[in-house]
Structure formats: structure tokens, C-alpha cells
Amino acid sequence: MPGSVVRAYSSEVRSGVLSQAEATSVADHFKADVASGAIDVFAISVFDYRRAEDLIARHGFGHRLRSLDALQLGVALDLRDQGLGKTIVAADVALSEVAAREGLLVLNLKA
């Protein structure tokens, strides 16, 4: 997980939104929240990959839904279906639009 957390903030550093020190701090806080149990971590299943493929097939022509965004959305929909959440946090416009179309509440970080 450490590499994926750093990767999540690397584009923000490159675009000047965050300094490298700020990104490292945010990543450290995130990892601490996971370690403390404040944030739950769920494994991705084959079902989630198939759901992502279906989402791309249904929404990919009308929205710029990237494969990893579709996978994130597939997991969010799976968790919703299990009664474990109904909100997705995103900064990507296309992901936010498709998530709303799929019935999730969207907390858009760029809004």
C-alpha cells in the first residue's frame, strides 16, 4: 500500500497543488488512519473487476471513465450493495458523474 498512497498524491505534487512535504504528510496521515482502524480497507475481488468492465461498457462511450476509476466505482457499488456505504469521494469529474448515475452520493473534492 505505501507506493499506491504516494502515487495518489504524485500528480498533485507535479501540478503544484501540493508540495512534496505536504503530500508525504497527507500520505502518512492516511496510513496512520488505516493502521488505527479509522479507515477500513477492503480487498478487490474478481466480481469487482467484472463490474468495472460492465461500467466501462455502459458508460465509457459517453464519459471518460478510466479503468482504475471504473474499478474504484465497482468496489464502491459492491460496498453499497452490502450496506457498507453509499458515498464515494472523488476529484475526477467523469468518475463523479458516473457514480451519481449509478446512485451513489458523491463528495467531489474539486467542487
Number of H helices, E strands in the chain: 5, 2
Distance CA 41, CA 69 (A): 17
Name all contacts of 27-35 with Cβ < 8 Å and 24+ positions apart: 27/2, 30/5, 31/1, 31/2, 31/5, 34/1
Going from N- to C-terminal start, the domains of the chain cover 2-36, 46-108
Q: Tell me, what's the pLDDT at 110?
A: 65
Nearest-angstrom CA–CA distance, 46 and 37 = 25
Query: pLDDT tens string for the chain (111 positions)?
Result: 455 677 777 888 898 888 989 988 988 898 899 999 998 888 899 999 999 999 999 998 999 999 999 999 999 999 999 999 899 988 888 899 999 999 999 998 765
What is the pTM assigned to this prediction? 0.75
